[in-house]
Every structure is written in structure tokens, then in C-alpha cells.
Amino acid sequence: MDSALTLIGLPVALGIIMLGLGLGLTTGDFRRVARHPKAAVIALVCQVLLLPALCFGLVLAFDLPPELGVGMMLLAASPGGTTANLYSHLFGGHVALNITLTAINSVLAVFTLPIVVNLSAAYLLGDARSIGLQFDKVLQVFAIVLIPVALGMLIRARSAAVAQRLDRPVRVLSVVVLVAVIAGAVLGERDNLADYFVSVGLAVLAFNLLSLGIGYGVPRLAGVERSAAKAAGFEIGIHNSTLAITIALSPALLDNAQMAIPGAVYGIVMFFTAAAFGYLVNRVGAGREPAPDGAVRS
């Protein structure tokens, strides 16, 4: 169900892009996140508590078959994907906040994802499943995100001029990688797309749009500055669909292809909706100067 491009090529490409993101970051960016934790706390509450509740409401509202319902809940419980960092970088989000949220969410998911999925399976299927999230999945996220970023930051600390020269080529590479991944995802599932979208497409689209809207809107209503709110929007709106698909298909875990369908559809839809979201937010907020600390409006 997942193409080799998304399973192998995407993590490698994202690792290279994370290196590029690190070229534009300093330890001061992360210290500002720690000094102004409001955006991070709000995003985590939305991710861990609000989204699963919202998704469960959509499962009931769309009257999805039980297996697809569990697949939707699996998707809702999955942490933000590393792709969120890329979109945040491209559309002017607070990348240090994204990286921080990705790391924290990945650790939290070890505990929260099994709880959400097991409860959902018990309610929707009458089957009290017992799954856990292997720690090696968390280590993969850390390897893809934190190690390359740390290397990029080290290069910047040693030579700011080199980091500045590399910035534009990396942005171009980011766009090329994104287009390649979108094309690969669509082509890889072209024979199944129609059936997937008929079965769960509207529910997935509604969940994706609500995730992006809540991720950006709730922090803004709470007084969080735009770049941090954009980072939260991408982090909450772009789930790790590859992780959701892997758990659904794994013989040691759920071993159910039906439960993988929401993740497969989401993994395609989110590329387009996230790009539209970033464009819309930037256009609406054009000309408005963000707060210098990237955390809370003054």
C-alpha cells in the first residue's frame, strides 16, 4: 500500500532537508521555545486530547464501517510527521517549535497511541485489542529529525556564511522532493484511489481540514504569534500516515488492510491541503509583522 518512495526515499530525503533546516537554526531558537512554552503546550493539548475526540465524532457522523473507524482513530493518534517541518520551513513557520513538537509527540505517542486504538477497537469492533508502539519507531523519528538538524546547526555555528549560501539550494531541493513524493504517492496508488476515496475520502478530508484549522486557529485565539501558530497548524494537520499504515498492516500489531486505508488516503490528501493552507495563511497575513520571539504576540 505504501510505495518504496514514501517508505525509503522520503525518510532519506527528509533527513537531508532537516540538515538544511538546521542551517537556519541556533540554540537560541530552541531557548525561545522553552521561555515561551504557550504555543507548544496548546499544540500538544490539541494533538493528544482534542484531535482524537474530534476524529471519533467524525467516525460516528460519517457512520464509517468499524475497521475504517479504527483506522481513522489510529491516524488521529499518530504524531505529527517530519513532513510538517518541511512545510513549516517553506511557508515561514516557527521551525524550532515544529522540531520540538515532533520530538515530544513521538515520545508521547508510545503511550497515547495504544490507548486510543485499543479503546476504539473495543468500542467499534467489540474487540479489546492489545497493541503497543515499538520504541524503534520513536528512534527512527529522532534519527530523521534531530540528528540532521543538529549537524546543520553545527555547520551554522562554525560558518554562518556557508549556512547562508546553502539556504536557497536547500529550499529548492525541498520543493523538488515534495513534488516527487506527491507524484510517487499518487502514481503508486492510482489503481486503488477511487475505491479508497469512495470508502473514506470525505471523512479523511474533513478530518484533515479540521486538524489544520484547529492547529492554527486555537493558538491564534489564545494569543500565539502567527509563525508559531503556522508551525502548530502544520504539526497537527500533517500526521505521520506512514506510521499509521505500518501499524495497521503489521502482522504483529493490527494486521488489517482496511484499517490502513484512512492513512493511505490521508497521506495523499495532506500534501495538497497543507500547501493550500500555507498559501492561504500567508496571503491573509501578508504585511503583518510577527513578534520577534516567535512565540506570543505583544
pLDDT tens for each residue of the chain, 298 residues long: 445 555 555 556 666 666 766 676 667 656 766 777 888 899 999 999 999 999 999 999 999 989 899 999 999 988 876 788 888 888 989 888 888 887 787 777 777 888 888 888 888 888 655 555 555 555 665 666 677 777 877 887 788 787 777 777 776 776 676 566 656 655 665 666 677 777 788 999 999 999 999 999 999 999 999 999 999 999 999 987 877 877 777 665 677 778 888 888 888 889 899 999 999 999 886 655 444 444 444 3
Backbone dihedral region of 92: left (phi > 0), alpha (psi from -120 to 50 degrees) or beta? left
Domain ranges of the chain: 4-279
CA–chain centroid gap for 88, Å, is 10
Cell 491573509 sits at which residue?
A: 284
Please report the beta strands in 145-220, taking only residues with DSSP state E, as ranges in sequence order.
none
Its pTM stands at 0.72
- What does R_g of the chain's alpha carbons equal in angstroms? 18
In CATH, the architecture of 4-279 is Up-down Bundle (1.20)
Half-sphere exposure of 215 (CA within 13 A, CB side): 33
Residues 6+ apart with CB under 8 A from 211: 51, 54, 236, 237, 239
| Helix axis angle, 10-22 to 135-158, nearest 10° | 40
